[in-house]
Amino acid sequence: MSNYHIKHLEEYYQIYRKSIREPENFWEEVAEEHFLWRKKWDKVLSWDFAKPEIKWFEGAKLNITENCIDRHLVTRGEKTAILFEPNNPDEPAQHITYQQLFERVNKMANVLKSQGIKKGDRVCIYVPMIPELAIAILACARIGAIHSVVFAGFSATALLTRINDSDCKMVITSDGSYRGAKTIDLKGIVDEALESCPGIEKVLVVKRTGGNITMKEGRDMWLQPLLDEASKQCPAEIMDAEDPLFILYTSGSTGQPKGMVHTTAGYMVYTAYSFKNAFQYRENDVYWCTADIGWITGHSYIIYGPLANGATTVLFEGVPSYPDFGRFWEIIDKHKVNQFYTAPTAIRALAKQGSEMVEKFDLSSIKVLGSVGEPINEEAWHWYNDNVGKKKSPIIDTWWQTETGAIMITPIPFVTPTKPTYATLPFIGVQPAIVNEAGEELKGNQVEGRLCIKFPWPSMARTIWRNHKRYKETYFSTYKNMYFTGDGALRDEVGYYRITGRVDDVIIVSGHNLGTAPIEDAINEHPAVAESAIVGFPHDIKGTALYAFVTLKDAGESRIHENLRKEINQLITERIGPIAKLDKIQFTAGLPKTRSGKIMRRILRKIAEKDTSNLGDISTLLNPECVKEIMDEAL
Ligand code: WT7
């Protein structure tokens, strides 16, 4: 029986029903047939959402890199595993075969071991989108070290918070990084962060830009000479199914980011299975996901999912606008990309350039288009469909989260009829529920509420690093016996899901998940600021942009507001990174508060959205008078 490649809608429903009725049998078959195990499991699933505790394939032993690399060597040794496209189009692309990847990962793994890294140690990887990033990740997995990748666009403060939260022993970084016309001094950022990271013993530095950097004696080492010395054989560490594979941080509603912990076997099985089906990947296809590996999308759908299937996965160092806005289309043409996966914010930015840029290139290789990160608006969907897919390539609008590890709701291309702005149907094995505020499940179609998942799936995060209590509170305490996603959703008359957006204090800007709290904390650090509140407002390219309402300690603050605005954004850049910069900052005498002192973001959101016709009852506020002033002076 091959459940592995879904071919038509009837088959989807048939497999879906089986995966729901007999989840253990279903996933056991997938796991048996398509992966390499050192030892099979004793039990497929045990779970308790009240604790919460979830275990898949308990008792099994494996190494994910043997599944992503070693087992392909016989049949795919000379096949390109990673196709690296550099930032600069004049620099040649690199085709790294599975055989070469095997050797490079092993060498790297041996370097890690020689520098004292052991199974279970945490290694922070702060490397731009170059092959060494993928190699470092896989090398950690090879020896059972837990990788914690931090997006190389994050600031020193964001980096050090993450390093310290998971007690990393080592940082892997590069001298610098290229992003379009810019060169970024990555090592300088690491040096600044490490002033406050006492646990870091070693820093390995990849040479990329050749920039001027300082190396700290005894701590910092160039990677290449160590690799040159290392053996290309490194036996894989045999891991338990539930051993942590990696930690990846995501924003939450407090300042402290949440270190989501993903484990080995379930994550592997589900990402591989979903990759194959959601993208309808076939042998010899060239697949490209434009996300950064610093996000979950890159972990699951640049590295683990594709490599577990022996796929060719493109790794692009640059940005869509360099050297011009034709770059994505040029790369698709150059490498004959078959599956292309990107974010609505990129689609909107590219659509703004008109279709001429697209028409210069031959995109006939494209079979499937994907979208991820935020709801894709109708206009962007049609532009993507008409100009990139030429109306013949299905768009899969894939809904999922860092926490879910892999795609949860998506059309299956050529199988599920698509509908703009709808993520459509649950993926195999996924049991969504829409609940009302009282926590009652709304059964049947044409309902709207909050999106929950009522049964475990193999790639779900198992905990928050050293904070299981927060894991339970955030995801399993709002509604009994269900995982709460934080998103709102509706189910239409045929059972298709549409994600309506976050219902908590997280704002998605250009597809980046930003918590309001850390940004407000950064603003409040400014000595002139008394208090602040952040909300989102609609933005052409970013989807949602940030609007801050700020009160000052000294209402008669003499400095002009423009300077203050710059200083506040500077602080945000330092504390979080440029992605969290504010588009609008309104200074106001007061913020609307409830009698218990909670800021009423709902009102501020309406004002920011310029939709003040129905503000609701504001008479119960502690300070209703401030609302009119805020409305009159809204930006
Ligand atoms: C949040 C998760 C999934 C990897 C990238 C983001 C929003 C994501 C969609 C989509 C509507 C989406 C949700 C979700 N989101 N994809 N196709 N349609 N919303 O991962 O940073 O953990 O963010 O992104 O609000 O909860 P993340």
Q: Cα–Cα distance between 346 and 325 in angstroms, integer?
A: 10
Measured at the CA of 461, the angle between CA 460 and CA 465, to 5 degrees, comes to: 175
Q: Which atom of ligand 1 is nearest to the CA of 513?
A: 21
Q: Does 341 contact ligand 1 (Cβ within 6 A)?
A: no
ipTM: 0.99
Q: Which atom of ligand 1 is nearest the CA belonging to 407?
A: 3
Q: Within 13 Å and on the Cβ side, how many CA atoms surround 608? A: 24
- Torsion angles phi and psi, residue 497, rounded to 5: -95, 140
Reported CATH class of domain 9-489: alpha beta
User: Would you state the pLDDT for residue 561?
Assistant: 82
Is 342's C-beta closer than 6 angstroms to any atom of ligand 1? no
pLDDT of residue 464: 98
CA–CA dist 421, 399 (Å, integer) = 11
Judge whether 112 and 118 are in contact, CB under 8 Å.
no
Give the chain's length: 635
* H or E segment and range at residue 305: helix 305-308
Among protein residues, the one whose CA lies closest to atom 17 of ligand 1: 399
Question: Which CATH number does the domain 510-633 belong to among 3.30.300.30, 3.40.30.10, 3.40.718.10, 3.40.50.170?
Answer: 3.30.300.30
Q: What's residue 438's pLDDT?
A: 86
Give the full edge-to-edge strand order of the sheet including 483-491. Answer: 432-435, 447-453, 483-491, 497-502
Give pLDDT, residue 620. 72
Tokens representing 594? 């409830």
CA of 374 to the centre of ligand 1 (A): 5
> Which tokens in the block code for residue 302?
């640049």
Q: Which long-range contacts (CB under 8 A, 24 or more apart) does 525-531 make?
A: 525/571, 525/575, 526/564, 526/567, 526/568, 526/571, 527/553, 528/552, 528/553, 528/554, 528/557, 528/559, 528/564, 529/553, 529/568, 531/591, 531/599
CA-to-CA distance for 302 and 202, rounded, in angstroms? 27
Nearest Cα to Cα of residue 394 among 380, 374, 414, 365: 414
User: What separation in Å is there between the alpha carbon of 379 and the centre of ligand 1?
Assistant: 19
Q: What is the pLDDT of residue 254?
A: 64
Residues of the chain with pLDDT under 70: 1-4, 252-255, 556-559, 595-596
Burial 541-556 (b: 16+ CB within 10 A, else e): bbbbbbbbbbbbeeee
383, amino acid identity: W
Spans of all domains in the chain = 9-489, 510-633
Q: What number does the ligand 1 atom closest to the CA of 398 have? A: 17
Q: CA gyration radius for the chain? A: 24
If one residue of 499, 514, 516 were mutated to test the ligand 1 pocket, choosing by the most ligand atoms within 8 A of its CB, it would be 499
Q: What stretch of H or E contains 94? A: strand 94-97
Lookup result for tokens 């290449």: 224
Q: Under 8 Å CB-to-CB from 114, ≥6 apart: which residues?
A: 226, 230
In the structure, how many helices (H) and strands (E) does the chain have?
21, 30
Coil, strand or helix at 240: strand
Burial call 354-383: b when 16+ CB within 10 Å, e when fewer: eeebbeeeebebbbbbbbbbbbbbeebbeb
Residue 107: CB atoms within 10 Å: 22
State whether residue 312 is helix, strand or coil: strand
Cβ-Cβ contacts under 8 Å for 92 (sequence gap 6 or more): 86
Only one residue has tokens 């001298």, namely 175
| Minimum CA distance residue for ligand 1 atom 2 | 401
| Residue from 399, 478, 497 to probe ligand 1 pocket by mutation (most atoms less than 8 Å from CB) | 399
The two tokens of residue 75 are 């049949």
